[in-house]
Amino acid sequence: MSCRSVVLLACCVLCIPFTGIAGQAEQHGGVVLRPGQTLRVRLADGQRFEAKLVGVDSNPLVLRFVQAPLGVPISSIDSLWLRRRGTGRGAIIGGIVVGAASFAFLALVCNAFSEGNGCESWGAVAGLTLVGGGAGALVGAGIGSLFPRWQRVDPQRATISLGVGNLGVRAGARIRF
C-alpha cells in the first residue's frame, strides 16, 4: 500500500465526525428547554443573571427560575443563553490531534525500522492510528465535559411543547432560531 493511499485513507477516516446524519437532527431545528437546565439571561432593562430553569408557564409565556420568586416574561428578555457541555467538540479535537500525531509518529518509526526500503506495515500503522485517534477522542471528551459552552437562543421565537412520556405528562419550551 503506497503512502499516498494511506494518507487518503487517514483523511477520510478523520473526516467522519464532521458528517451530519439527518435523522438525528431535531425536526424543527429548535432548542428544547427543560427544567434543571442552566440559563444565562439578560433582561431588556440591563439586568443579568444565571439560574436553573424550574418550569415554563404558557399564558403568558413566562420562564420560572430557582432564584426568582416571580417568573420572567419572554417579552422582557433581551438575550438568552443555554449552558451546554463541550464533550462533542472535545472528542473531535482530541481525536484529530492525537490521531494525526500518532499517524506521523508511527509512519516515521515504520520508515526508520525499514532501513531505507520504505514502510511495509501500513496496515499496522493505520490500525494503530485509529486506536490513537479513539484514545484521543476519549480523553478529549473527558476534558471537554469540564468546560461549559454557551449557546445563544432567540427568546422571541419560543413555543411551548407538551407531551406524554413513560413517567407522565411533560412540558417544555421549544425555541427556534
Q: Which pLDDT tens digits describe the chain residue by residue (177 residues)?
A: 676 776 667 666 665 555 444 433 343 345 677 788 888 888 888 888 888 888 877 777 788 888 766 788 878 888 888 888 889 999 999 999 999 999 999 999 988 888 778 888 889 999 999 999 999 999 999 999 998 888 888 755 555 555 555 666 666 655 554
Judge if 172 and 131 occupy the same domain.
no
Cell numbers that stand for 158 in this block: 419560543
In Å, the largest CA–CA distance within the chain is 77
Q: Tell whether 134 is covered by a domain.
A: yes
Judge if 55 and 100 occupy the same domain.
no
Q: How far apart are CA 10 and CA 15, in angstroms?
A: 9
Phi first, then psi, for residue 37 (nearest 5°) are -75, 150
Q: Tell whether 3 is covered by a domain.
A: no
pTM of the model: 0.56
Name the residue range of residue 132's domain. 87-144
Domain count, the chain: 2
Judge if 151 and 70 occupy the same domain.
yes
In Å, what is the CA distance from 116 to each residue of 9, 70, 112, 113, 123? Answer: 23, 75, 7, 8, 19
